[in-house]
Chains A and B, each alone.
Chain A
Amino acid sequence: MSDAERPTDDHVPGAEDEEFEPVRVFPEAEEMDLRPGADNCYKCSTCDTNCPVAEVDDEFPGPKFQGPEQWRLKRQNDHDIDDSVMKCSNCMRCDSACPSEVPLSQMHNTARGEYVEENMDKRSREYVRNRILANYRRLAPLAAAFPRTANFVMGLSVTKWIGEKVLGITSERDFPEFATETFREWWTERGGAKIENPNKRVAYFHGCYANYNTPEVAKALVRVYEHFGYEVMVPDQDCSGTPMFANGMLEDARRAAETNVEELAAAIEDGADVVASCSSCSMSLRQEYPELFDFEDTEDVAANTWDAVEYLRVHEDLEAELEGTSLAGESFAYHAPCHSRNQGLDGQTIELMDAIDGVEAHDVGDSCSGISGTYGWKAEKYETSMKIGEEMFEHMAAADAERGLTECPTCSMQMEHGTGYEITHTLEVLEAALVGDADATERRQGAG
């Protein structure tokens, strides 16, 4: 039999899937086997040239080693995962760099999970600290119960000193402020959706940050969607898992994902599409869930999850709706988060802002902000984080704008930290253009 009878191509897009019986060469894999991905790597090193960490730190071996090379070493079962995997910031830029379909970030996430599981001392300060950072959502409700106290305590220099000395959380950064009213509290107070529409429904995955820290972003989403006649649902949800993947806490992520898939699948069953306002949340639901988990409906949730702005561009004529709106002289320095970039969304904000009269948005280039979620909060990573961010800070300073614009919560922390600018979310600008001063309107209607 010629080898033409036995195709060995790993999923070639556009190829005809023929049924064939593979010959089993390797024993049944106990866990995830990423060998086919490693075999796709032809070592062009394009991924390495995209790695923000490798560019500022030669001690980091880069994505090509962390993924395919490490995977080959592991096949002999005599190599542990190299501890340098913890230096990867999970920006996932290597994914869209690879010209050969190597699932780099999936390999990194899997390797990091294994390293934390098998090689990291569970009593070490690093483990405890990472666990706390990754599970910020577990602590947030406490702080949200007493937001003013929490903000006061978190802002104390003694708190920062303890954070750095005891836990290894950098004292250079200011902890994000907790809102005095969470989005979900506001939602309940408001009586939920103002519009019922069985034909146009979205389930809002707000994530942690928009709920506890920036409810104004979540409210903006609700009002913009209601402006277009959508019924907004806010299902029960847990953290998307992004900070857990980045810290190798795959079990924590699995638990969160299970809740989310179950709740969101139920909403999809009710005719809703899922929308997210945070680029890392949508990335996680769309890409990381199907790569790392196999709960029932995982694929279904991934396929029906959208970036909130993109959804309106495709399902409504958002751009036409914005033509003719105007805002008084708003000028923004826009940074596209890595996780927007990886979803092909890095150009959309500038395109939309161009449509609003009086709004100028300047793209500050394709560099990574450097904070990468919990990464830049770690005392030993702070310097790397700021070195990566340097290019973005310079471009922001050079841009003809005094305010920042982005869709990612931690990118916005880094932008503010490096420049002192006030940072806005794209949805807030859309709300201002389409709905105007909604808070006042809502209060009037509530009174009427």
Chain B
Amino acid sequence: MAIEDDVLVIGGGLAGATAALAAADAGRDVRVRLVTYKQSTLRHASGLIDVLGYAPASDGKAEGPLVDPFDALADLPEGHPYERVGSEAVREALAFFDDIAGDAYAGDHTDRNALVPTHRGTVKPTARYPVSTAEGLASDDRDALLVGFETLPDFEAPLAAAHLEAAGAPFSARGVTIPFPGIVRDDAKVTRYAHLLDRDETVTTGAGETGAREALATTVRQHLEGEPRVGFPAVLGDERAAEVRTALADALGADVFEVPMGPPSLPGIRLEDLLYGALEDAGVRVTSGVPVVDYEMADAAGAGSAGAGTAADGGGVGDRIDRVVVDRNGTEIPHRADQYVLATGGLVGKGVRSERERVFEPIFDCHVPHAEDRYDWFVDDVFGEQPYARFGLAPDRELRPLDARDEPEFANLRAAGAVLGGYDFAAEKSGGGVSLATGYVAGRRAAEEVDE
């Protein structure tokens, strides 16, 4: 016996969740399961959905920030994930995301990139942004007060404000650092700040006992000099973030926005929650906390054949995955589906791994193009064109990973998100968009292919 489904998605980040949702939404009655091992890199992520901020240029100098990412999609090199799926799929995937996100995200009113200030005072070109950051856009000419907390050194507000001004933002930015009422520890977690505000816990300040929201607003008010908007590090609540922002804005008489932070990131966590809520609503079954470690191929008769997983000479369009093996604390659980989507992430998410002599994809051993000599995997210039940043699977236009002979590794496996190669999302600012577009296409195609 195996656990049976029609479509099995491996990986629970933005690409995997999108693939599962797109498969469930394909208009056919297919049973979709998502298996995810560790928590996804969404917890490292800013929560912004970038399509393309900078175009990769031939001379190694990236071009940008781009005003309209869609203008640049057609010029991307062959093999780039966007080139594989086509720009129409990028638009469809964004529209699909907009439907799921509802009013939690903004930016769908235009093709053009929005400019969102980050915690270092840089400005990030992005296509969709959490509504909590909407009042903070750098293109907005209203003056801003940035507020940092003494116990949260990741956001140095005065420095961020100075950076923003130096970057030519069309407004005056000022930064102040204040104590966060109710927190004295230097190493309180971001979830603790969020929890205090979510629950409006009672805190003790010099002025006596009040709710955390009121106490915070009172402290900030003393520093406000008529700025119409106030930016905070992105820790303003988790489950009740909108409520927290509204309460602070009312108390301050100013618009309130969040500045995206580095990991661990609450906007990333909120996006994860939003996606998993949508998965539940869509009837997608989720198995989490366990890795897929192996697979078995179907022989011509359709039965599983053991001893696979040594796919060095596999390949050929006819090869099909019959089942995958999930390792549950030492016990091997077979999962069978008709179609599979691999969305296990890249070098950080560990969907692509390396040893000293090779770079490989650990579950199906799909081909990862890379130089023989490991000294050719990187260049000395840290911010130069790093080959390793583009490591990943090379797919056909169906997103089926190709082997060294450019044949699909398996007929019923597609790949999505950072496990794909051929693009440098950190340099291009294209991570979210590629995950959405490839996840959407892989999930839709998988559902269409499911045997009647």
Binding site for B on A (CB under 8 A): 3-4, 6-9, 12-16, 44-46, 48-51, 54-59, 61-62, 65, 96-100, 283, 286-287, 290, 299, 302-306, 310, 313-317, 341-344, 346-348, 351, 363, 390-391
Interface of chain B, helix or strand or loop or mixed?
loop
Selecting from B37-45, B142-150, B414-422, the interface stretch reads: B37-45
Are A14 and B288 in contact, with the CB atoms below 8 A?
Answer: no
Are A49 and B331 in contact, with the CB atoms below 8 A?
Answer: no
Q: 11 A-B Cβ contacts within 8 A?
A: A4-B357, A14-B360, A51-B191, A54-B191, A56-B195, A57-B192, A58-B184, A99-B38, A290-B330, A305-B330, A305-B331
Instruction: Give min CB distance, B20 to chain A, whole Å.
Output: 13
**Is there a chain A Cβ closer than 8 Å to B363's Cβ?**
yes
Residues of B within 8 A of A287 (CB): 329-330
Query: A46 and B288 in contact (CB under 8 A), knowing A4-B357, A51-B189?
Result: no
Minimum CB distance partner of B374 in chain A: A4
**Is there a chain A Cβ closer than 8 Å to B353's Cβ?**
yes
Query: A55 and B329 in contact (CB under 8 A), knowing A4-B356, A97-B39?
Result: no
Query: A363 and B280 in contact (CB under 8 A), knowing A99-B350, A347-B285?
Result: yes
**Is there a chain A Cβ closer than 8 Å to B59's Cβ?**
no
How many cross-chain pairs have Cβ atoms below 8 Å apart between A and B?
Answer: 145
Are A61 and B263 in contact, with the CB atoms below 8 A?
Answer: no
Q: CB within 8 A of A13: which of B41, B188, B189, B291?
A: B291
Binding site for A on B (CB under 8 A): 1-3, 35, 37-39, 41, 43-44, 183-185, 187-192, 195, 199, 239, 263-264, 269, 280, 285-291, 293, 326, 328-331, 333-334, 348-350, 353, 355-357, 360, 362-363, 365, 374
Q: CB within 8 A of B329: which of A15, A343, A347?
A: A343
Are B356 and A7 in contact, with the CB atoms below 8 A?
Answer: yes
Q: CB within 8 A of A49: which of B199, B269, B285, B355?
A: B269
Are B288 and A13 in contact, with the CB atoms below 8 A?
Answer: no
Instruction: Give min CB distance, A51 to chain B, whole Å.
Output: 7
Instruction: Give min CB distance, A170 to chain B, whole Å.
Output: 21
The CB with the most chain B CB atoms within 10 A, among A3, A54, A286, is that of A54
State A317–B1 Cα separation when bound (angstroms): 7
Are B356 and A62 in contact, with the CB atoms below 8 A?
Answer: no
Known pairs A44-B43, A99-B350, A313-B3 / 6 extra A-B pairs, C-beta < 8 Å:
A6-B356, A14-B293, A96-B38, A286-B331, A305-B331, A310-B333
State A316–B3 Cα separation when bound (angstroms): 10
Are A13 and B3 in contact, with the CB atoms below 8 A?
Answer: no
Residues of B within 8 A of A9 (CB): 355-356
Q: CB within 8 A of A61: which of B187, B199, B349, B355?
A: B187
The CB with the most chain A CB atoms within 10 A, among B290, B329, B350, is that of B329
State A283–B329 Cα separation when bound (angstroms): 8
Are A49 and B190 in contact, with the CB atoms below 8 A?
Answer: yes
Minimum CB distance partner of A14 in chain B: B362
Q: CB within 8 A of B288: which of A56, A96, A290?
A: A96
Instruction: Give min CB distance, B274 to chain A, whole Å.
Output: 14
